[in-house]
Amino acid sequence: MSVLDKMRNSSDSFPVQALFAVVIASFVVWGVGGQGSTVAPVAEVDGHSITDVEFARAMRLATSRERQALDPEAQAALQQRVLTQLIQDMLVLDEAKRLGIEVSDDEIKRYIARLFKGDDGKYSKEQYDTYLTRTGTSASSFERQLYEDMMRSKVMAVVAQGARVSEQEVKRRFTEQETRLTLVYTRIPAAAFFPAIDITQAELDAFIASSADRIKTTYDAQFDRRFNDPRKATLRTILLRTDLPGVSKEDVKVRLEAVRAQLVAGGDFAEAARRWSEDLTAVNGGDLGVQADSQLDPAVTEAVFAVGAGQLTQIVETSRGYQLFLVEAVTDAKVTSLAEATPILAAELIKADRAPALAKTFSEELLAAWKAEGRPPLALIASKGLLPETAEDVTLTDPQVRGLGVAVELIADVKNVQAGAVLPEVYTIGEDLVIAQVTARAEPTQAEVDAQAGTVRARMQAMARMELIQAWQTDLVARADVVRYVQPGS
């Protein structure tokens, strides 16, 4: 028995017009109809051809709706979606005819009258003729297309009658949407067990000998971040700005030269910065901290590394004004070679391999203790340097938990427990293991459910109708004899 045959046993009413406008708009865009054919079919459906003319027209329209150019993969995916839509269109129309659904000439005329109106709100034949001329479509072709679209709309309205939403489902959905929970959880990262892992020299040597490629890959991936240390300078600065309205650059430079002269004579740089600098660091005596050469303006880099530790730079012009720097310390660039990094990385990789098993064992022990006590066993948690955390305003319809991330399995279990319950499993969220307890659960009252039930029911009913129609169309395609001649990217 087909999906439609099953659905027709339902008595739930559904107005044809509710779906009509949406379906008409959709199929007018696709432009399927008796528009001629060629000897090159793109697909055959129960012995009937979908022509390359129809497919090309639908592809042009579909592509024109995209807001950006499509790469080959996206273009191929769109091609398949368009062809699937054309196949479904043909099968839906055939099913409408098989069921004896009809669309009269008067229905078509009334729809055209509603579609093409003049300023007076009445049917305008002039507007209709203008549209036909602009689109290069004959009246007979356009009306034939409307006929087919209206036939599809009517049969899908029949199918949609089978979409039922019970009061229990409405209450369940609204309750899920409005329920708010508080979770207490502990995240158990594998890295927390690194300190407990002892590695002998023999184990380290054996790992290095057997895992050279893995160590090299890790080294390359972390080279810029860990092993290519740029030269750095610990700096203080005095800035006199020239990017302000009405400021004379010459006067500013003269002032900073005077300040530099005082510092060369033995003045305190930090005090001078607090007094004269117009940079935000002035309150901290111009302290810029440690700066890598790549972080500095090229002109500043040149001036800073031209002098040694404890020396003043020359005055440097930057986009903000004139600056003077005190170089408190300099660290030369250093590249840690693969040979130097190998024992470090080998130890880290060994720990990374062993730690997950330790984390799993501990998490199972922690879950058992948590369930037994009915609350977080703080001493056990703290023994691994961990802490319980709290997530408030957790919902049952959003898998994203603040502080945890996407927790699909955890949320699925949360739906079935009450306040005070420890969740039954150890969950893997991201790269960590997680144990959680529901400490508070607030559900909507019956009065709130009753007040919002109509809105929720309408939304669920619309979704159920669309899902049912899609399932029916998929069933039609599955039962049909369909041969596709167009493949992705062809």
CATH number of the domain to which 15 belongs:
1.10.4030.10
Say yes or no: 108 and 34 in one domain.
yes
Q: What is the pLDDT of residue 488?
A: 57
The rounded distance, in Å, linking the Cα atoms of 176 and 460 is 13
**Is residue 92 left, alpha or beta, with left meaning phi > 0 and alpha meaning psi from -120 to 50?**
alpha
Say yes or no: 425 and 297 in one domain.
no
Domain of residue 471, residue span = 3-165+458-484
Res. 26: pLDDT tops 80? no
Say yes or no: 66 and 160 in one domain.
yes
Say yes or no: 115 and 28 in one domain.
yes
Say yes or no: 436 and 474 in one domain.
no
Q: What is the pLDDT of residue 71?
A: 85
The partner residues of 232 in beta bridges, in order of sequence, read: 292, 331
pLDDT digits (tens, 9 = 90+) for 233-251: 999 999 999 998 888 999 9
Say yes or no: 18 and 98 in one domain.
yes
Kindly state whether residue 175 falls inside one of the protein's structural domains: no
Asked if 156 contacts 23 with a C-beta cutoff of 8 angstroms, the reply is: yes
- The per-residue b/e assignment along 358-386, b for 16 or more CB within 10 angstroms, e otherwise, is bbbebbeebbeebeeeeebbeebbeebeb
Res. 33: pLDDT tops 60? no
DSSP codes joined into one string, 108-119: HHHHHHHHSB-T
Confidence of residue 63 (pLDDT cuts 50, 70, 90): confident
What is the CATH classification number for the domain harbouring 308?
3.10.50.40
Identity of residue 200: T
The rounded distance, in Å, linking the Cα atoms of 5 and 475 is 12
Say yes or no: 19 and 156 in one domain.
yes
Kindly state whether residue 61 falls inside one of the protein's structural domains: yes
Q: What is the mean pLDDT of residues 56-61?
A: 87
Counting the structural domains of the chain, the total is 3
Q: What is the pLDDT of residue 311?
A: 96
Kindly state whether residue 103 falls inside one of the protein's structural domains: yes
Confidence of residue 217 (pLDDT cuts 50, 70, 90): very high
Q: What is the pLDDT of residue 17?
A: 44
Q: What is the pLDDT of residue 490?
A: 56
What is the CATH classification number for the domain harbouring 366?
3.10.50
Say yes or no: 402 and 307 in one domain.
no
pLDDT digits (tens, 9 = 90+) for 71-129: 888 888 899 999 999 999 999 999 999 999 999 999 999 999 999 998 898 999 999 99
The rounded distance, in Å, linking the Cα atoms of 477 and 160 is 18
The rounded distance, in Å, linking the Cα atoms of 132 and 126 is 10
Kindly state whether residue 348 falls inside one of the protein's structural domains: no
Say yes or no: 263 and 369 in one domain.
no
Kindly state whether residue 226 falls inside one of the protein's structural domains: no
Res. 35: pLDDT tops 90? no
Kindly state whether residue 170 falls inside one of the protein's structural domains: no
The rounded distance, in Å, linking the Cα atoms of 234 and 304 is 10
pTM: 0.58
Say yes or no: 158 and 39 in one domain.
yes
Q: Which residue has the tokens 């895992």?
A: 211
Kindly state whether residue 207 falls inside one of the protein's structural domains: no
DSSP structure class, residue 196: G
pLDDT digits (tens, 9 = 90+) for 273-321: 999 999 999 999 999 999 998 889 999 999 999 998 999 999 999 999 9
Which phi and psi (to 5°) does residue 471 adopt?
Answer: -65, -40
pLDDT digits (tens, 9 = 90+) for 381-438: 999 999 999 999 999 989 999 889 999 999 999 998 999 999 999 999 999 999 999 9
Say yes or no: 84 and 148 in one domain.
yes
* Interacting residues of 346 by C-beta distance below 8 A, sequence separation 6+: 204, 207, 208, 211, 215
Say yes or no: 278 and 358 in one domain.
no
Closest CA to 399 of 388, 415, 410: 410
When the pLDDT of each residue in the chain is averaged and rounded to a whole number, the result is 88
Kindly state whether residue 111 falls inside one of the protein's structural domains: yes
Q: What is the pLDDT of residue 31?
A: 41
* Interacting residues of 343 by C-beta distance below 8 A, sequence separation 6+: 204, 208
